[in-house]
Amino acid sequence: MIKEYGIIGAIVGDVIGSSYEFDNTKSIDFELFRAGTEFTDDSILTVATMDVLNKNDINYGYIQAYQNFSKKYPSVYGDGFCKWRDSDDPQPYNSWGNGSAMRVSPVGWAFNSVEEVMAEAKRSAEVTHNHPEGIKGAQATAVAVYMARVGKSKEEIGDFISETFGYDLSRTVSEIRSSHRFNENCQSTVPESIIAFLESSDFENAIRLAVSLGGDSDTITSIAGGIAGAFYKDIPGYIVQKVLEYLPKEFIDIITEFSKFTDLSPVSPGPK
């Protein structure tokens, strides 16, 4: 049994955002599930991160997990990532793409201090995304998940992220929406995703705001969903049930095992 559905926030975001990546909407009023809805690389590699943290085995790290899962589960991975995946001697390729941020949310659940979360987010990013912006995108996302999980307020989360990482979080979703175009950089998708979370009123609203930005919808919604899941904890049952129907049994098993980390959580005072 999955003990706390907040841990699948990033996967929910990916699944719901998937059909809008190449068919953007700029509205929050859209069908959550429709033809073309599926899990994509964001879910696959999030589950791979969970698998590493579950196993906690020195001989099974992010390189093996990301290679294994991406070979086993086809999706639209980036070109650089595909070369890396197929290499016998995979080396980081200095990416600042948002791939480092979309797979990192489990790190915010599995560690209990900002320092540990930052260090582990860097480890997960730098096997591929060793450019400073790639590492920063992963750290900002994971720290936001961590702070949300332990009951920090949106104001505390936003202030910490903008001070630590220099992201401009002062813009609004409607300001961003009019000019945001498809872009896969951490620098122009991670802050946008965090803003969608900060402006949201509940989990579903965070997902809807993130999709409504347009652009790289599955990844933006996955990053926002990971943080929103940690903050609101409660994902509506009709969304959880539907998303789980899209996932392979192996994913459900890994997510279920990953639930053990929710015991680490200090008792949450709930969203503020």
Judged by the rule CB under 5 A, the positions of this chain that interact with Mg ion are 40-42, 218
Q: How far is the CB of 218 from Mg ion (least distance, A)?
A: 4
Q: Are 228 and 203 in contact (CB under 8 A)?
A: yes
Residues in contact with 41: Cβ distance below 8 Å, sequence separation at least 6, in sequence order: 70, 75, 76, 77, 99, 102
> Residue 43: which of 14, 85, 72 has the closest Cα?
14
- Least Cβ distance, residue 49 to Mg ion (angstroms): 15
231: which 2 tokens?
């903050």
Closest separation in Å from C-beta 40 to Mg ion: 3
DSSP for residue 31: -
Instruction: Considering the complex, state which of residue 100 and residue 259 has its C-beta at the smaller distance from Mg ion.
Output: 100
**SS3 assignment, position 97:** strand
Q: Considering the complex, what minimum distance in angstroms separates the CB of residue 41 from Mg ion?
A: 4
- List, in sequence order, every residue forming a beta bridge with 185; answer none if it has no partner: 97
Residue 87, CA distances (Å) to 47, 97, 175, 176 in order: 21, 19, 42, 38
Smallest gap from Cβ 38 to Mg ion, in A, equals: 9
